[in-house]
Structure 1
Amino acid sequence: MTEQTETVPPAHDVARDIVLEARGVSKHFRVRHNGGDLLARRQRAVHAVDDVSLQLRRGTVTALVGESGSGKSTVARLLAQLYPLTGGEIHLAGKAVKAGSGRSFRRYVRQVQLIFQDPFASLNPVHTVRYHLARSLKIHGRAGSGEAELEAGLTALLERVQLTPPQRFLDKFPHELSGGQRQRVAIARALGADPQVLLADEPVSMLDVSIRLGVLNLLKDLKDRLHLAILYITHDIASARYFADTTLVMYAGRIVEGGDSETVTQHPAHPYTQLLIASAPDPDRAVAPEEQQESGSGEPPSLIAPPAGCRFHPRCPRAMERCRTELPPRFDLDDGQWAACWLYADTTVTTEATGTKEATDK
């Protein structure tokens, strides 16, 4: 068993850099309940994710930010193929991925690994660290041909996530580790597949504040050394600025803004992003007076019967009449930033389905 290879980034090619891509992905969950009209029950569904498109590139971190219930974790589970798609496509290395099981699913998860939010819940409490890591290496064919190679592989994984000396941790049970150590074991288990993509679903939200930065720095180091594509899911937009290259903002099942993390977090365009920023003050953020908006109020909408038009309009302090009836497309702004908001209807529209652009004058 050889240590995980540190890859060298190829010459820059935007198309080749895209490892995993979601194209118009949707996920609706049927609502089950007793009583009422049978036809109505069949038609009721939770619109957890609607028409979400994103690209994960080698050697970069993409943050997916939003409040609880916005659909972020559902997106991660769709990309991990834990849920079947209601609509849209997932492409791995430029090829459409078909839902499957058995060998096809195993081939997919060798490339795409999910790190769960709660490391204690994701590790079997009756098994040791050795068991968890050895099982990962064996399932993905990286255990080698003998005990010596397996031990070398286990040691390499623990060293990779900075749990040293490895012999101190191999025979411990999850309850004997701290929260940060458990999450590092979960990351090591994901690395056992030698993946190209890590889907990190709020990987530090269950950890003590004092050790969150260490885990984020570990992921950043892995991204640089192994040239991984990382999807970082979080409700903390401030950490997205620190950790991610690109930030996407999600609200009620839809992505409403995206762009370079520094631009999105320092100069938010969508009223919802402005609300998120206002709820997490940053003393280093320079917000011009004209960018300061009245905070939105109210609760997120029901995803069983989402509002027409822009889903944020019931809470938006700048909502217009067309926001209540027309779903805003994506409007391109400066420096690669974009926002799905009618406030920018005089700019250039990017049609996400085709990638074409057309000028508007509204």
Structure 2
Amino acid sequence: MTTEQSPSDPVAAGPEGDLPVVLEAEGLTKHFPIRRRGRAALTGSRRSIQAVDDVTLVLRRGRVTALVGESGSGKSTVARLLAGLYPRTGGDIRLHGESVNVRRGKAFRAYARRVQMIFQDPFASLNPVHTVRYHLTRALKIHGRAGDDLEKSLRELLTRVQMTPPERYLDKFPHELSGGQRQRVAIARALGADPEALLADEPVSMLDVSIRLGVLNLLRDLKERLHLAILYITHDIASARYFADETMVMYAGRMVEGGDSETVTQRPAHPYTRLLIESAPDPARLLPAEPEGPFHVKVPSSGGEPPSLIDPPSGCRFHPRCPVALARCKTDLPPRFDVGDAPGHWAACWLYDGAAG
């Protein structure tokens, strides 16, 4: 792996293209084979769940990239692939431009030191029979960051996630903490590795609404102070607009739209993105009253159900739910088309093909 600046080094201000790429995926694919028993195992072809297909994304230092979609769209699978927890079916994952394919041993530990994951349920991700001290000490020792003064390192970790005074929390068990405090401990444990990228899998969805903002603000502060590259996975496109610099929209295992968060949420190009926004509790705060774009796409909020990923639709996977689907949407998979005037805004939708009439 190439040598890069540590996360604590300053990053010069500049446009997105000038920010160093930490982690990237190209053509990332994951199919889960379906186990068949009895006579079915001896006859017929093997089938699989096509959870992730041809996903490409880039995580840069000092930026948050949101991955948005409804449940079952493949968001969490992408995070686990990037974390090395699942073997990939196809595609490439690169850390600082070098391909990685490690799942165990010293090589995996070296990769995990730079790419850490924060899970959705903080209670499930912490061992209930061990204290906060145990969880953080183990993280520091595994990644060789305990230092000469372990107590000082533990206090610094808890202070970094705004759990002060740290002495109040070190000897508590997970059940003695609130949901927000447990998630802060999980974040502190991830920071114990001194990572360059954080993969946050719906980090606030299990928390009370009243404390979600505090955790998101903590992650934003860590991004700015430590210059972390953060992948923020969520089904709440409103929080993506608030928290993320860039938003990618995922549907049925495939990316359908991407761009800076303000553009994607204010001027959505793909019919599915509009469906997500109109399904939000208060869509008026996000979406203009009149649809924008050359086709004035209007998607009703009752948009049907996601397709089966065992036998997904041909062509665009959204076409069975799309009220403006073209004939070719049912047969041809749309590539990415640049849309609008905002740089980097794209949509995988045939409505934006220059040849479309």
Same fold (TM over 0.5): yes
Pairing of 1:117-196 with structure 2 (within 5 A)? 117-145=120-148, 149-196=149-196
How many aligned positions are there?
343
Structure 2 residue 84 is the aligned partner of structure 1 residue 78: no
Structure 2 residue 303 is the aligned partner of structure 1 residue 297: yes
Query: In structure 2, how many angstroms separate the alpha carbons of the residues matched to 1:41 and 1:90?
Result: 33
> Structure 1 residue aligned with 2:321, among 301, 311, 315?
315
Query: In structure 1, how many angstroms separate the alpha carbons of the residues matched to 2:254 and 2:248?
Result: 10
Q: Which residue of 1 aligns with 2:29?
A: 26
SS across alignment from 1:76: helix
Q: Which residue of 1 aligns with 2:3?
A: none
CA apart distance, 1:102: 0.6
Letter in 2 for 1:339: A
SS across alignment from 1:125: coil
Contact 2:240 2:247 (8 Å CA) reproduced: yes
CA apart distance, 1:361: 7.3
Query: In structure 2, how many angstroms separate the alpha carbons of the residues matched to 1:323 and 1:286?
Result: 25
SS across alignment from 2:258: strand
> Structure 1 residue aligned with 2:348, among 340, 344, 348?
340
Pairing of 1:219-258 with structure 2 (within 5 A)? 219-258=219-258
Query: In structure 2, how many angstroms separate the alpha carbons of the residues matched to 1:39 and 1:304?
Result: 19
SS across alignment from 1:62: strand
CA apart distance, 1:41: 5.8
Q: Which residue of 2 aligns with 1:92?
A: 95
Contact 2:199 2:232 (8 Å CA) reproduced: yes
Stretches of 4+ moved more than 6 A in 1?
Answer: none
Letter in 2 for 1:96: S
Contact 1:252 1:303 (8 Å CA) reproduced: yes
Query: In structure 2, how many angstroms separate the alpha carbons of the residues matched to 1:133 and 1:320?
Result: 54
CA apart distance, 1:333: 1.3
> Structure 1 residue aligned with 2:118, among 115, 120, 134?
115
Structure 2 unaligned residues grouped into runs of 5+: 1-5
Q: Which residue of 2 aligns with 1:327?
A: 333
Compute the RMSD of aligned alpha carbons.
Answer: 1.7
Structure 1 unaligned residues grouped into runs of 5+: 347-359
Query: In structure 2, how many angstroms separate the alpha carbons of the residues matched to 1:18 and 1:6?
Result: 16
Task: Report Cα offsets for 1:157-195 as digits up to 9, x if no partner.
Answer: 000000000000000000000000000000000000000
Query: In structure 2, how many angstroms separate the alpha carbons of the residues matched to 1:294 and 1:111?
Result: 41
Contact 2:265 2:287 (8 Å CA) reproduced: no
Distance change in 2, residues 1:42/1:141 (3 Å) = farther
TM-score, length-normalised on structure 1?
0.91
**% identical aligned pairs:** 69
Q: Which residue of 2 aligns with 1:204?
A: 204
CA apart distance, 1:6: 3.5
Q: Which residue of 2 aligns with 1:43?
A: 46
Query: In structure 1, how many angstroms separate the alpha carbons of the residues matched to 2:289 and 2:184?
Result: 40
Letter in 1 for 2:11: P
Contact 2:277 2:287 (8 Å CA) reproduced: no
Query: In structure 2, how many angstroms separate the alpha carbons of the residues matched to 1:283 and 1:297?
Result: 18
Contact 1:117 1:204 (8 Å CA) reproduced: yes
Task: Report Cα offsets for 1:245-274 as digits up to 9, x if no partner.
Answer: 000000000000000100000111000000
TM-score, length-normalised on structure 2?
0.92
